[in-house]
Structure 1
Amino acid sequence: MDYGVTITRGVAPWQIFQQGPGGTACIRLEGKYHLVHLSQELPLQFSAVPHAKTTVKARVALESTGESVVPWTECTVLDSENWTITFPRVPAGGLYRIETYMDYEGWDGLSCTRGDMVHNVGVGDVFVIAGQSNAAGRAKNPVADDPELGVHVLRTSARWELATHPLGETTNALHVGHYENHNPGHSPWLHFAKRLKRELGYPIGLVPCAYGGAPLRWWNPEENGALFTNMLEMLADYDIHPRAVLWYQGEAEGYEDSAQTYLERFAAFVRHTRAALGQPELPFLTVQLNRCMEGPSEKLDRQWGMVREAQRQAWHTLEHVTVVPAADLALYDFIHNASEGNLVVGERCARAALAECYGRDVDWMAPEPESVVQTAPDTVTVRFSRIRNWLNPFGVPAALLPFEAEDAQGLAAPKAYETGADSLTITFERPLGADARLHGAWRMNPGAAIPSDCMRMPMLSFYGVPVEQG
């Protein structure tokens, strides 16, 4: 019933507003008001009230206590039925409810003064989820990852809700640009958002736009760009300028034989996204590819190796881009992360976000080769950066060590190795040529033992790192 004050635009239940640099959000509401008289006897009868001078008021209150965050404030009454108000500085926090009411000259005690309320609104940070199936989430194995008030999701229905798995489900979908042909599953991002909310103390919103099987060209507007357009349309519904983009993609490139140009095309996607949103420093928090059990195929192995290397290089060459490893995590099927693996991805990305987006002193960066030096005709020493504890290759036989050298003669496998605190000295099955390069954890399935900084995280995969002469 349109009696009393109604809110028609500006806020929705469960909505998370992206805060600005000052830690506040501007919330502008529009609505209507209707003067109605209620009968004294039941059943209620409603009758019109002659127009009179009307005052509409609104406030922002804490859901938890009812205390005013923004006190009752008089709205601008535009004409005989429309009103508007702007709350210019609603502080980061919540959950809030927005309340309205009205009064008018000649009120007789029975005429309607009630107003709409919108519940469970927050001001905090919003993250958009982009990529393909491991970003959308495919795992169906059970894991505890409960919903939590203050972590909300914008569904494909264009409605905000309490965030629950699967984040990208398509009930009543209005945005069908990434409409899945089957139900998605568990993904990393609910855990990611809960971790940030607990650290930062304010709500987190998620906008899932990822699509299973999507190659980078569907995101890059210089190629196809359909998913890029769909993402912008979803954000435009609520005028969202997100805090960062969560990006997990690249498996499709191997099947399209397009890994060689991944870095330049990803850079184009980043550039166009930042330009379209007017956010030149928008962070991209990315995940390096996990394993795939399909194969074996040397062609696909090389494609995956090149994509992983491009993801590593994006971190080093593009500003405000991070990358975390995933090659050590359990799978749900031949290519998709298991639910427990998703929790780890969410944790690693949250730590990267705390450092990149919020300047926190958080140890989030994975080890990677700092130098690769040939110390004998058949031997190289790989020294790793960011080893906080000690390098752990898990004592596997040399044949299972996920490294291979390559020169003009082809690939060479390890036959022995020695472990230092932050280094591996690897002896190969033959002498290496002057043009040798080293690949690490590069194949689609790089094996079960990815060398790690013990008690912390595995190294990043790499491909084609030049071997220096010692």
Structure 2
Amino acid sequence: MIRVHTMQGSDENLARQNPFSLMEWQVCQRSENGTASLMVQGQLGSQHDQTRTYHARLCLESSGAPASEHLDHVQITVDSQGDWKLLLERVPAGGPYRFELNGPGFFSCLHHLCVGDIWVIAGQSNAGGYSGGFIEDPPEIGVHQLAADHRWSLAAHPLGDGWGHSPLLQFGKLLKNALGVPIGLVPLGAGGSGLAEWNPCEGEAPLYRRMISTIKSTGGPVKGMIWYQGCTDAGNPQTASTYAERFRAFVDRLRCDLGQPDLPVVMTQLNRIRGPADKQSDWNWSTVREQQVLCARTIPHTAIVPAHDLGLSDAIHTSAESNLVLASRYAQAALGLTRPGREVCRPAEIQYARLNRTRDVLTITFSHVPIGLVAVSEEICDFIVEDGGCEVNYTIPERYLYFTNQVVLHLARPVSEKTVIRFCYGRNPESSLRRYRDMIPPLACMEMPVSTADQA
């Protein structure tokens, strides 16, 4: 509870906050013109004097200078019950700001108020932050978080309901430094949750209801959503194979309920999992990854980043060190979706695979590779070549593939037209290829039919 400290030494409650009133550490979403309108209200208590004049100001926390000239000395009106309300208009993006309320005999203030961008983080445990290990990733003023109880605070590990390290604090700091505005994080990931718990088109969806309630408590729109989920749906072939259809229904409903038809969404292509595997579980995990790529291709204002190459701190959670890598990928994708004039950051992916005339050399061409590809290990084992259900061995003579977007596989024998390739397939795939420009791996591909030279 925020308190008023009077010069007489008695305390009165300053504000009975509603969802659209300010609270300390709050980040308010800026509009397209770079400003926000902020509502602050409260009660001075029974001892107030209506004959007194009360003033408010919004100033920089760092220096005390006014946030803007028109916000420097604003008179407020107090009713007979001691209630007051003030709309601060055209507050410029930035902060932290301090809101001051003063009059004869008392002074009170709210600290660390910001105007910037708000990002919602939803999905499973890797969205919440369950990573073990140690990494330097300190809090930073100007990157704040809103918890599920609708209270704002300085963002620090663990975020939300997590108990370990999360990639999202670093994501917030990278965005703040790139954009020059504060970032608000709304971490809502729930460990072990399936897509059905987020998708109101499949039932009650309690996590969706919690998300909508929390977003509305920010008092306005949000900038976008980070989505990291799919492990639970990979446990069942039915939920795996219908993931794209169900995720699209979830996004459509979310955008409708928020009144933001172009809400940017950054997806994570499913990571890896250690432990015993079988054909069905490999198929399930690869199917979810393929469905997620389909989402990014078909849902407007959606980007995807890969995670299958990242290190783990246990059987399934991304390590703290790899979280910083993932944070950078999120930031690139978010900036591409939201920054005017910036190109959307698209990961490389297989465009086509073509056999030579003797059908013993297979050339795989990747899209979105401006400079070239490189391998980070001595052997490139990312590909599986299958002919009639049987794996075919291959060699790759060139490990360094600068200035080309192609990988050439020399097959152990000629293959048929029914041959398919898989890339980074299964629960725990090999991953050694990287795009040279940013060292991001291509997206995993479940199955790509090959073409022949005659079909070119």
Task: Output the TM-score relative to the length of structure 1.
Answer: 0.86
- 8 Å CA contact 1:99–1:117 kept in 2: the answer is yes
What does the per-residue CA deviation read over 1:356-376, in whole Å, with 9 as the maximum and x for residues that have no partner?
Answer: 111354683321112211224
Counterpart mapping for 1:178-197 below 5 A: 184-197=163-176
Counterpart mapping for 1:276-425 below 5 A: 276-359=257-340, 361=342, 364-375=345-356, 376-394=358-376, 396-397=378-379, 401-406=381-386, 409-419=388-398, 421-425=404-408
Structure-1 separation of matches of 2:349 and 2:136: 32
Structure-1 separation of matches of 2:66 and 2:437: 50
Corresponding residue for residue 445 of structure 1: 428
Residue 160 of structure 2 is aligned to residue 168 of structure 1: yes
Structure-1 separation of matches of 2:40 and 2:34: 20
**Secondary structure at 2:57's aligned position in 1?**
strand
Corresponding residue for residue 154 of structure 1: 146
What does the per-residue CA deviation read over 1:397-449, in whole Å, with 9 as the maximum and x for residues that have no partner?
Answer: 4xx61212345x21424322344522112244554443433210021111252
Structure-2 separation of matches of 1:304 and 1:359: 35
What does the per-residue CA deviation read over 1:132-163, in whole Å, with 9 as the maximum and x for residues that have no partner?
Answer: 01111111201000100000011233211111
State the number of aligned residues: 432
Match of 1:14 among 19, 25, 43: 25
What does the per-residue CA deviation read over 1:55-92, in whole Å, with 9 as the maximum and x for residues that have no partner?
Answer: 33211110011011121111233334111110121110
Q: Note the aligned Cα RMSD (angstroms).
A: 2.2
What does the per-residue CA deviation read over 1:360-398, in whole Å, with 9 as the maximum and x for residues that have no partner?
Answer: 54683321112211224344211112223332234644x
Match of 1:209 among 188, 192, 195: 188
The one-letter amino acid of 2:74's match is T
Identity %: 34
Corresponding residue for residue 237 of structure 1: 217
The one-letter amino acid of 2:275's match is E
Corresponding residue for residue 8 of structure 2: none
Q: 1:149 to 1:331 in 2, by over 3 A?
A: same
Q: 1:203 to 1:57 in 2, by over 3 A?
A: same
Structure-1 separation of matches of 2:223 and 2:41: 26
Larger displacement relative to structure 2 (195-204 or 368-377): 368-377
What does the per-residue CA deviation read over 1:233-258, in whole Å, with 9 as the maximum and x for residues that have no partner?
Answer: 11122324210000111111121322
Structure-2 separation of matches of 1:451 and 1:200: 27
Corresponding residue for residue 80 of structure 2: 79
- 8 Å CA contact 1:5–1:116 kept in 2: the answer is no
Task: Output the TM-score relative to the length of structure 2.
Answer: 0.89
Task: List runs of 5+ in structure 1 lacking aligned partners.
Answer: 37-48, 104-111, 170-182
Residue 128 of structure 2 is aligned to residue 136 of structure 1: yes
The one-letter amino acid of 1:282's match is L
Residue 57 of structure 2 is aligned to residue 59 of structure 1: yes
Structure 1 residue 93, shift from structure 2 partner: 0.2
Q: 1:406 to 1:262 in 2, by over 3 A?
A: farther
Please identify the structure whose Cα radius of gyration is greater. 1
Structure 1 residue 35, shift from structure 2 partner: 6.6
Q: 1:430 to 1:240 in 2, by over 3 A?
A: farther
- 8 Å CA contact 1:130–1:246 kept in 2: the answer is yes
The one-letter amino acid of 1:221's match is P
**Secondary structure at 2:371's aligned position in 1?**
coil
**Secondary structure at 2:261's aligned position in 1?**
coil
Structure-1 separation of matches of 2:66 and 2:311: 47
